[in-house]
Amino acid sequence: MKRRLEISELIFKVISYFLLTAFALACLYPFIYAISSAISGKYYVETNKIVLLPKEIQFDAFMAVFKNNSFWSSYANTLFLTFFGTIFSLVVAILGAYALSKKRLMFRRGFNFFLVFTMWFSAGVIPQFLNYTATQRIFYNIGISDDKWMIVIAMGMAAMNVVLLRNAFESVPSEIEEAAIVDGATEIQVLTKVFVPMSKSTIATVGLFFGISRWNGYFWARMMIKNTNEWPLQVYIRHYLEDTIWNSDNITISNYPYAETSIVYSMVVCAIIPILIIYPYIQKYFAKGVNMGGVKE
């Protein structure tokens, strides 16, 4: 009986490792392919001969991207939206989650219900667009002409992240809060000195969610930001594809050793580098943060 259990456990491990390895390779392949296409020669890219490894290696496409001022301007816009958007969203989420975690809050159940209700049902894209355009007009009337701030504020709420933080705050022992209040701590001090430090794993996880969504944000930035100089990176890359690659009227024969699509792949690789740098530092909080925020004791 024991030998059968050992054999079945061995088979399970082999299958599990095989599936996990296959899944990891499937996730890595698009990134490896993008790098290979960015540094491969023009002929091999245009004839779709790149499968995995690069051929006729050249870095001229990357050099062309480095000299593209519009690309780096959009890069700066994305950094602006990600930095300020993540900070604003975290502040709103922490304050809202802290209030909703308190049983003494009036109409607490009703607020929690309406918060979760927005996760199930949405008014739709058109009402949301009308709401954003109305907000945009208000910004213009008070003298704020930078549409990036509208994106930062309008996209500042995510119900799922508030729920994760609320559950994390509810798991903080009430005795610690009572001890802080007895020592004379104010409500703000209880939040910043007790709840935030004890929920830093969940806060880091939620911050990662907010940051990635801001970094990869495309649709609403494309719809609401009218000034092309304020476009974020994803919108700029999409516009470059439409204007240079997909528009047959703009196709020109060049003597460059790289294909036009190699420029796009180079932009994609440059765009993902900050996420690759930051994510390993936050990954250690990820599993712990989701467990703390996702399980209610």
pLDDT tier for residue 247 given thresholds of 50, 70 and 90:
low
Residue entry with tokens 């009337």: 141
When pLDDT is cut at 50, 70 and 90, the band that residue 22 belongs to is very high
Most confident of 26-35, 123-132, 275-284: 26-35
Q: How far is residue 81's CA from residue 24's CA, in Å, rounded to a whole number?
A: 30
- In angstroms, rounded to a whole number, what is the distance separating the alpha carbons of residues 287 and 285? 6
User: pLDDT tens digit string along 200-242?
Assistant: 888 888 888 898 888 988 888 888 888 888 899 999 998 888 8
Which H/E stretch holds residue 179? helix 174-182
Domain segments of the chain as ranges: 71-294
Structure tokens at 58: 């050249």
Does residue 290 surpass a pLDDT of 70?
A: no
Size of the chain, expressed as the number of residues it contains: 297
C-alpha dist (Å) from residue 263 to 37, 42, 53, 247:
9, 11, 17, 15
The answer to whether the beta carbons of residues 215 and 279 sit under 8 Å apart is no
Q: What is the pLDDT of residues 99-146, one digit of tens each?
A: 888 888 888 888 888 888 888 887 778 888 888 888 888 888 887 777
Under 8 Å CB-to-CB from 208, ≥6 apart: which residues?
Answer: 279, 282, 285, 286
CA distance 289 to 285: 6
CATH code for the part of the protein at 71-294: 1.10.3720.10
Mean pLDDT for the chain? 83
pLDDT-derived band of residue 250, with 50, 70 and 90 as boundaries?
A: low
* Measured distance CA(233)–CA(290) in Å, rounded: 29
Could you count the other beta carbons within 10 Å of the beta carbon of residue 110? 9
One-letter amino acid identity for 113? F
Q: Where residue 297 falls among pLDDT bands split at 50, 70, 90?
A: very low
